[in-house]
Amino acid sequence: MLGRTYPDQACSIARALEVVGERWTLLVLRDTYRGIRRFDDLLASLGITRGVLAARLSWLVDEGLLERRAYQARPERFEYVPTAKGLELWPVLMHLLLWGDRYYPAPGGPPQVAQHKGCGGRISPQLTCDRCGRQLGPTDVTVQPRRRRSHPRPAAQLTR
Amino acid sequence: MLGRTYPDQACSIARALEVVGERWTLLVLRDTYRGIRRFDDLLASLGITRGVLAARLSWLVDEGLLERRAYQARPERFEYVPTAKGLELWPVLMHLLLWGDRYYPAPGGPPQVAQHKGCGGRISPQLTCDRCGRQLGPTDVTVQPRRRRSHPRPAAQLTR
């Protein structure tokens, strides 16, 4: 596909970016981590067109980062659940979050905070809990998402 | 700029992607990490147009991820050195590398390998050295880059 590949780059970073570097792809994955997994919910969360969302979901399913699961039979409805391969990009998203929090805090309020579920500790640059020291993974952390120009939503959890 | 922003997303991941999510930006940063810092060297390494490279470098300087330093006076020539802010994205690139190595190994040869400089250990998913256990950073690791359809180049080091 034009515009997404990195010809002449044998680097695994380039290859990874060919898979997840396209606009919106990592944000779709982010939402599925935190439990937003149905088409219309993703549409509302991301504010993109149906066409773009459908293309990103289809790509992520084809590449094995998301699994498409029926949650309703009549009419048939699907949700998109991150696979182990999809979940292994969690550190990429967490480091982008930490970096964005540090250098580009959200205007009009505190940046969203990633916390160790249950414990309440903050996530360290080593992706450990700064309170109990445990190594954290995608199911251990809650994130308080916030949309611009709207009211805060309840904390969403990164769930499997 | 059209096509790069994520309107209605107060999330720090989205903000970080507004800064480094554009095509080629993370690969420019990757090259400056490993000591490829002059315009023509970056051009040769990346295989992109002068215009795209100039735009990415200018953007990364404006956002404070790279510092433009004169290395020659007549004619004036500059190199692009990652700042502390730029270096703090190292974990993002390393996790993309590890993920790409795992799921998309380069065809025609072993994937490139990130090693603890001096020690020779491999980098773990926690970005520690799997031999000596030390937490690794951008100046601790060597990466063997390899371009498709060409001969291997000597190992480049991630240097400051």
Domain ranges of chain B: 12-83, 89-160
- CA–CA distance, B57 with B86 (Å, rounded to integer): 12
At B48-107, the pLDDT tens digits run 999 999 999 999 999 999 999 999 999 999 999 999 999 999 999 999 999 998 998 777
- CA–CA distance, B113 with A12 (Å, rounded to integer): 10
CATH 3.40.50.410 for domain B12-83: no
Contact criterion met (CB < 8 Å) for B147 and A103:
no
pLDDT-derived band of residue A5, with 50, 70 and 90 as boundaries? Answer: confident
- CA–CA distance, A81 with B111 (Å, rounded to integer): 29
- A38 in helix, strand or coil? strand
**Out of A32-41, A97-106, B21-30, B68-77, least confident range:** A97-106
At B110-123, the pLDDT tens digits run 456 788 998 989 89
- CA–CA distance, B59 with B84 (Å, rounded to integer): 16
pLDDT-derived band of residue B142, with 50, 70 and 90 as boundaries? Answer: confident
Residues 110-129 (B) with a CB less than 8 A from some CB of A: 111-112, 125-127
At A104-123, the pLDDT tens digits run 887 765 456 788 998 989 99
- Are B20 and B88 contacting, i.e. CB atoms less than 8 angstroms apart? no
What is the average pLDDT value for chain A, to the nearest integer? 85
- CA–CA distance, B31 with B17 (Å, rounded to integer): 19
Q: Where are the alpha helices (DSSP H) in chain B?
A: 12-20, 25-33, 39-46, 50-62, 84-87, 90-103
Predicted pLDDT of residue A2: 41
Predicted pLDDT of residue A109: 52
The hierarchical CATH code for the domain A12-86 is 1.10.10.10
pLDDT exceeds 60 at position A50: yes
pLDDT exceeds 50 at position B144: yes
Predicted pLDDT of residue A45: 93
* pTM across the whole model: 0.86
A102: chain B residues, CB-CB within 8 Å: 88
A96: chain B residues, CB-CB within 8 Å: 12-13, 16-17, 92
The alpha carbon of residue A122 is apart from the nearest alpha carbon of chain B, in Å, by 15
* B148–chain A Cβ distance below 8 A for any pair: yes
Strands A156-157 and B66-72: unpaired
At A54-89, the pLDDT tens digits run 999 999 999 999 999 999 999 999 999 999 999 999
The alpha carbon of residue A78 is apart from the nearest alpha carbon of chain B, in Å, by 24
